[in-house]
A and B are shown apart, each in its own frame.
Chain A
Amino acid sequence: MQPLSIANDVFWLGDIDFESRDFHGYSRSPLGTTYNAYLIKDEKNALFDTVKEGHGPILLEKLRQVLPPEKVDYIVVNHLEPDHSGALPLLMEACRPEALICSPLGKKSLEGHFGSRDWPVRVVTSGETLSLGGRSVRFIEARMLHWPDSMFSYIPEEKLLISNDAFGQNIASTARFADEVEPALLRKSLSEYYHNIILPYSAQVLKILDAIAGQGLSVEILAPDHGLIFRRPQDVASTLEAYRDFALQRPRKRALIIYDTMWRSTERMAHALCRGLADNGVETVVLNLKQNHHSAVMTELAACGLLAVGSPTHNNGILPLVAASLTYLKGLRPKNRIGAAFGSYGWSGENTKILGEYLSAMDMPQPVDPLKCPFVPDAAVLNACEAMGASLAAALEKHCAAACS
Chain B
Amino acid sequence: MKKHVCSLCGYVYDPAQGDPDGGIAPGTAFNSLPGSWVCPVCGASKADFKPA
B-contacting residues of A (Cβ < 8 Å)?
A: 105, 141, 143-144, 148, 200-201, 203-204
Contacts and interface: CB of A to CB of B under 8 A. Distances in A.
A203 B8 contact: yes
A387 to B, nearest CB: 38
A207 B7 CA distance: 15
A399 B42 CA distance: 33
Contacts of B8: 144, 200-201, 203-204
Contacts, number: 22
16 contacts: A105-B42, A141-B43, A143-B42, A143-B43, A143-B44, A144-B8, A144-B9, A144-B42, A144-B44, A148-B9, A148-B41, A148-B42, A148-B43, A203-B8, A203-B48, A204-B8
A201 B42 CA distance: 11
A148 B41 CA distance: 6
Interface residues of B, number: 8
Contacts of B42: 105, 143-144, 148
Nearest to A148: B42
Nearest to B7: A203
Nearest to B38: A143
A203 B8 CA distance: 8
Contacts of A200: 8
A200 B44 CA distance: 13
Interface string B3-15: 0000111000000
Nearest to B6: A144
Nearest to B43: A143
